[in-house]
Amino acid sequence: MSYEAPKIRLIMELRKQGITDKRVLSAVERVPRELFVAEALRSEAYDNIPLPISQGQTISQPFIVAYMTQALCLGERDRVLEIGTGSGYQAAVLAQLCRRVCTMERYRSLLAQAEGCFEALKLHNITTRLADGAKGWPELAPFARIMVTAAAPSMPSVLVDQLDQGGIMVVPVGLSGEQALIRVTRQASGFKEERLLDVRFVPLVAGLPPGRA
């Protein structure tokens, strides 16, 4: 099946929804979303909807991926920390626009699958880690940018502390039903917080799952 027509439709829809950054649109255009979903869902890969992945998790709606990427104001020299690799799709989009993506996931099986996609797409600027992302990645901190793709119950100060001067973090905060996407900017004088959008994300869960999931 050719994905060209649905892909063009999606890009047009994202433009209408306010994604104006051409670099973000072209990154979405370049990353084959169909590779990141189960074969049975490939025909829906360019619908502007979230799709289920394994372990009860979801790959976000393309609009949300594009919106969060745009909100991060990425520079091409930036190193970005992503919490919640999931399918790996968001990391692959980020990897088009910055120097390095460091992405963390708590499910071994999801991470292994995402790594397979990064390999297939020759995305060599993504570093992965199986660990509790709520703790961040202190060995590699500080980061110019941080994106959290699971909802934190409250502003995660551990992650805020791993932001570089001038750094920006985009994070969904709140309990299910009332989550908002927040952008935190670290300024010399302190932190600026902006509430961007109401959202729905799976929760950020502390610790690793039991067994070898």
Residue with Cβ nearer ligand SAH (2 or 179): 179
Select 19 or 150, whichever has its Cβ closest to ligand SAH.
150
In the bound state with ligand SAH, the residue whose beta carbon lies nearer, of 51 and 184, is 51
* Residue numbers 139-168 binding ligand SAH by CB under 6 A: 149-150
133 forms part of the interface with ligand SAH (CB under 6 A): yes
Note whether 132 binds ligand SAH by CB under 6 A.
yes
Positions of E strands within the chain: 51-52, 58-59, 79-83, 100-105, 126-130, 143-148, 163-173, 179-187, 190-199
Residue of 60, 87, 176, 189 with catalytic role:
60
* Radius of gyration of the chain measured on its C-alpha atoms: 16
- Report the DSSP beta bridge partners of residue 148: 83
Q: Which of residues 42-71 bind ligand SAH (CB under 6 A)?
A: 57-60
Contact, 81 vs 146, CB < 8 A?
yes
Matching residue, tokens 């979903």: 37
Cα 208 from Cα 95, distance rounded (Å): 25
Which two structure tokens, joined as six digits, stand for 123? 């995305």
CB contact at 8 A, 46 and 63 = no
Cβ 54 to ligand SAH shortest distance, Å: 9
* By CB under 6 A, residue 89 contacts ligand SAH: yes
Window 177 to 206, contacts with ligand SAH (CB under 6 A): 202, 204-206
Q: In the set 24, 31, 110, 123, which binds ligand SAH (CB under 6 A)? A: 110
Q: Which of 134, 159, 163, 169 binds ligand SAH (CB under 6 A)?
A: 134
Residue 7 as a binder of ligand SAH (CB under 6 A): the answer is no
Which residues face 100 on adjacent strands? 79
DSSP state of 41: G
**Is residue 157 annotated as a catalytic residue, yes or no?**
no
d(CA 131, CA 197): 28
**Beta bridge partners of residue 129, listed in sequence order:** 104
- Name the site residues for ligand SAH (rule: CB under 6 A): 57-60, 83-84, 86-87, 89-90, 104-107, 110, 132-134, 149-150, 202, 204-206
Active site residues: 60
